[in-house]
Structure 1
Amino acid sequence: MVGVTFFGNFDLASLAIWGFWLFFAALVYYLQTENMREGYPLEMEDGSESPNQGPFPLPKPKTFKTPDGREVTVPSAENEAAHRRDNLALEKVAVGEGFPQVPTGDPMVDGVGPASWTPRQDVPEMNAHGHPKIGPMAGKDDFFISAGRDPRGMPVLSKDDQVVAHCTDMWIDEAEQEVRYLEIELEPEHGSGKRLVPMTLVRVQPRWIMVASLHSSRFDGVPQVRTAGQITKLEEEKVSAWYTGGTLYS
């Protein structure tokens, strides 16, 4: 019989369990190293390389082709440099690592702390058809308000109860069919031009729109979009960071 003459007294159950554990260990190793394609090697808060990199080595570089035709190689020094910000306006409050750093200037202008932002690509986010996902609702006849209040035309109040602007439009995510931003036009005494406000940071009341994270003096500093009717991923980062940073700093 094959089981007697070939394997003899070999324990097949032991082979099966040890084979499973070896496969599981290899799977953990593979998943952990694949997870280290971005953000590694680890760094200290001052930008120097951390002496403790962990038990797993960096994976070999791999090139990915994105839907928009770009090629991204990770891990690579070029990719890490494109997604980092150096010389931030911060200083240490203690010698040891892990302590919070304090801003040395205007944290909202410098983009640090709660007002920090990530240098994403300065291109719009696209839908499956290659068109920008987010844009003004004006001119889009396929979209309308099916429930709730229409904020267009309402005054915008700051955290100090000043009327700083009026809502002129809504910017929608066509793919998700939801409002991402409100477009507002500043009153002359608070600046000029139009700005965007993240929909998640406003409260539409019966007679006005409340933006509780910004003082009236801060609305003129909200980052503006470079192209009318279009917002890039980098601009989204900076706009959102300004309002969220205002919760603490404004």
Structure 2
Amino acid sequence: MENAFFGNFDLASLSIWLFWIFFALLIYYLQTENMREGYPLENDDGSPAPNQGPFPVPKPKTFKLPHGRGEVTVPSKENEDEHRRDNLGDLMEDVAKSHGFPADPVGDPMLAGVGSGSWTPRRDEPELDGHGHAKIVPMGQTESYRVSAGRDPRGRFVVAGDGEVVGTISDMWIDAPEQLVRYLEIELDADHGGGKRLVPIHFCQIWKTVKINSIHGRHFAGVPVTKSPTQITKLEEEKISAYYGAGILYADEKRADPLL
């Protein structure tokens, strides 16, 4: 034992210290990689935030996007500008001097895109699955899917939050890879704008009718319309969901007031 290679060296202590060093480096790496978008931090008015955190912003790295959709470099000014809404200052007003407080919309709150109706400028292109096909498609355009459980809403009347009947459900838009219904397609009657509109299924209560409480009958004509009758882009998804989200707070003036 006197000639043992490690002698009295504590291998157990070395192992635990190597583990803690590796774990600390792993946390540092993961945190800096997580900072490729949304950093450096900004105040509500767009100025740099005084507290940027203990970790530095990583060096720019270029990623090749799948299915021939080009490249994106993060972090980069071009990527930040692509996801920035420069006119937000004209659409909202601060209700407090401190940062982080809610802001009140200016003008039509249903269209301002702030508060409960906030949206971000995602790319105006459909989200694709692993094979390069659009993920969200109308069920009426495919023969591969059917309703296997629950209530089929197609053909049912659509009732708004104020009790008005605004149209009927004409189709369901499904997330094909996930096999989930994402949107219901509404065929509006002429008195409420006509044409077709989409509503995220999470805003719907499906019984004998399809009840949408977030907006009133007069608001359905203003629901954003998709450019294609068979596809929805990521930007269109943002704006459609934001419109119904805005209605939760702004469709009725009473909703924005305290309950007590």
Cα pair distance change 1:216/1:21, threshold 3 Å: same
Give, in whole Å, the separation in 1 of the partners of 2:31 and 2:72: 20
Paired residue secondary structure (2:66): coil
Q: Which residue of 2 aligns with 1:29?
A: 28
Of 135-144 and 59-68, more deviation after overlay is shown by 135-144
Q: Percentage identity across aligned positions? A: 62
CA RMSD of aligned residues (A): 1.8
The offset of 1:19, in angstroms, is 2.7
Of 10-19 and 133-142, more deviation after overlay is shown by 10-19
**Does structure 1 residue 180 correspond to structure 2 residue 182?**
yes
> 1:116 pairs with 115, 118, 124, which one?
118
Structure 2: which 5+ residue stretches go unaligned? 252-260
> Is the Cα contact below 8 Å between 2:139 and 2:173 reproduced in 1?
yes
Q: Which residue of 2 aligns with 1:86?
A: 86
Structure 1 length-normalised TM: 0.92
Q: Which residue of 1 aligns with 2:254?
A: none
1:90-117 CA-to-partner distances (Å, cap 9, x unmatched) read 1112222122211122222111110011
Paired residue secondary structure (1:15): helix
The offset of 1:21, in angstroms, is 2.6
The offset of 1:160, in angstroms, is 0.7
Q: Which residue of 1 aligns with 2:142?
A: 140
Structure 2 length-normalised TM: 0.89
Q: Which residue of 2 aligns with 1:233?
A: 234
Give, in whole Å, the separation in 2 of the partners of 1:103 and 1:148: 39
1:109-134 CA-to-partner distances (Å, cap 9, x unmatched) read 11111001111111111122211111
**Does structure 1 residue 56 correspond to structure 2 residue 55?**
yes
Q: Which residue of 1 aligns with 2:258?
A: none
Paired residue secondary structure (1:26): helix
Give, in whole Å, the separation in 2 of the partners of 1:74 and 1:175: 28
Q: Which residue of 2 aligns with 1:193?
A: 195
The code of the aligned residue for 2:18 comes to G
Structure 1: which 5+ residue stretches go unaligned? none
Paired residue secondary structure (1:126): coil
The code of the aligned residue for 1:35 comes to N
The offset of 1:86, in angstroms, is 2.0
